[in-house]
Amino acid sequence: MGLIATQPITGPTAWRASDVINDDSWMRPLSKAHILEIEQALADVKSSGLSFPNFGKHDFALPTLSAVLENYMAELETGLGFMLLRGIPVDRYDDDDINIIYWGLGLHMGKAVRQNPQGDLIGQVMNVGDLTDRQTRVYETNAYLPYHTDPTDIVGLLCIRKAKSGGISSLVSSAALYNEILAHHPEYLSCLYRPMYYPHLGGDKPGISPIFSYHQGQLTCRYLRQYLELGHDMMGAPLSAIEREAFDLIDLISHDESMRVNMLMEPGDLQLVNNYVVMHSRTSFEDFDDIQQRRKKLRLWLRTPGSRELAYDFPGRDGFPDPK
């Protein structure tokens, strides 16, 4: 076990709802000039006979937007830990063109890592999974998606279509959550720094990682209750009563309205979240019967230059390994 932070986390990452709900600085609309750059880059890729994912950053040139995106990545590390880019004109394009645009934008933000054993680089977030199968990943259903983090630096979600109703995205600062635990229930902290079994950390078997890690003066968080419970079941090491109480506490604090910011993403919105400092969630939703109308988001997992150094006992920033 590493160091335990015994003083409250301070700075922009430790936000609460009241700090951001009336502040729209985290909304970043794309300018007309930047949209023109994206459209020209798309045209250049297609005229070269290239397609997703078989092209590089230099093939998708963004003369001024590239530097803006790089600055956004730095801000996700030092600021609130989330932002919403608005205005990608997804309604103009077919699926192949959208994949080229999204992949191209990602190349200017970092390196995409694989999101599942099949090796997906752009994940399709749609209601197509089986809720009765514990191995089904919750984003493949229309069920409530609990607060969690993903095993990489940044997660991007690009909205293509909204649900018939519901499907609201919700974010919570893991630093603010930590401060609540420290102030009112510090007896659980040692439990939350203890290594636990997680599936989906890059190997065939669950890997080992704590929920909280305090390294080089920065607090880092990894949490997804469903997978923690599954990981311990897979390893024949049931969670203790105190560990379940600690999870209950995390869930209780996360659902406090004073802690979270909610947003209903519109088509063309790209949400960017730093997994180490923000947990994300989604409400359940009602979908359309026609699969062509169903809610659809596209996901990128990015490893980004300039992201924090992680402690030796906090692995998993590289997503899944390449398929064998």
- The CATH number covering residue 234 comes to 3.60.130.10
- Is 144 inside any structural domain? yes
Q: Which pLDDT score is estimated for 130?
A: 53
Rounded to whole angstroms, how far apart are CA atoms 102 and 69? 13
Rounded to whole angstroms, how far apart are CA atoms 298 and 270? 9
- Is 157 inside any structural domain? yes
Q: At residue 137, does pLDDT exceed 70?
A: no
Rounded to whole angstroms, how far apart are CA atoms 293 and 102? 20
Domain count, the chain: 1
Place of tokens 């949209």: 35
Q: At residue 219, does pLDDT exceed 90?
A: yes
Per-residue CA distances from 191 to 6, 176, 228 (Å):
14, 18, 13
Q: What is the mean pLDDT of residues 180-201?
A: 94
- Is 149 inside any structural domain? yes
Share of the chain above pLDDT 70, in %: 93
Q: Which long-range contacts (CB under 8 A, 24 or more apart) does 140-143 make?
A: 142/167, 142/284, 142/285, 142/286, 142/287, 142/295, 143/284
- Is 83 inside any structural domain? yes
Q: Which of 95, 69, 67, 86 is nearest to 26 (CA)?
A: 86
* Residue 120 binned pLDDT confidence (cut-offs 50, 70, 90): very high
More reliable by pLDDT, 178 or 1? 178
Q: Which pLDDT score is estimated for 216?
A: 94
- Is 320 inside any structural domain? no
**Cα end-to-end span (Å), the chain:** 33
H-only helix segments in the chain? 17-20, 32-47, 65-78, 95-107, 174-184, 189-192, 225-234, 241-254
Q: At residue 208, does pLDDT exceed 60?
A: yes
Share of the chain above pLDDT 90, in %: 76
The mean pLDDT of the chain is 92
Q: What is the mean pLDDT of residues 239-243?
A: 97
Domain that holds residue 156: 17-303
More reliable by pLDDT, 238 or 283? 238
Q: Two tokens at 223?
A: 């949490």
- Is 250 inside any structural domain? yes
Q: Which of 122-126, 183-187, 263-267, 284-288 shows the lowest mean pLDDT across its residues? A: 284-288
Name residue 182's amino acid: L
Q: Which pLDDT score is estimated for 243?
A: 97
Question: In sequence order, what DSSP letters do the residues of 17-67 get, joined into one string?
Answer: HHHHTT--TTEEEPPHHHHHHHHHHHHHHHHTT--TTS--GGGS--TTHHH
Q: Which pLDDT score is estimated for 194?
A: 95
DSSP type of residue 283: -
Q: At residue 129, does pLDDT exceed 70?
A: no
- Is 323 inside any structural domain? no
- Is 46 inside any structural domain? yes
Rounded to whole angstroms, how far apart are CA atoms 273 and 41? 25
What global pTM score does this model have?
A: 0.93
Q: Which pLDDT score is estimated for 135?
A: 52
Q: At residue 106, does pLDDT exceed 60?
A: yes
DSSP type of residue 317: T
Instruction: State pLDDT tens for residues 172-185.
Output: 999 999 999 999 99
More reliable by pLDDT, 324 or 307? 307
The order of strands in the sheet holding 169-173 is 145-148, 278-282, 169-173, 260-263
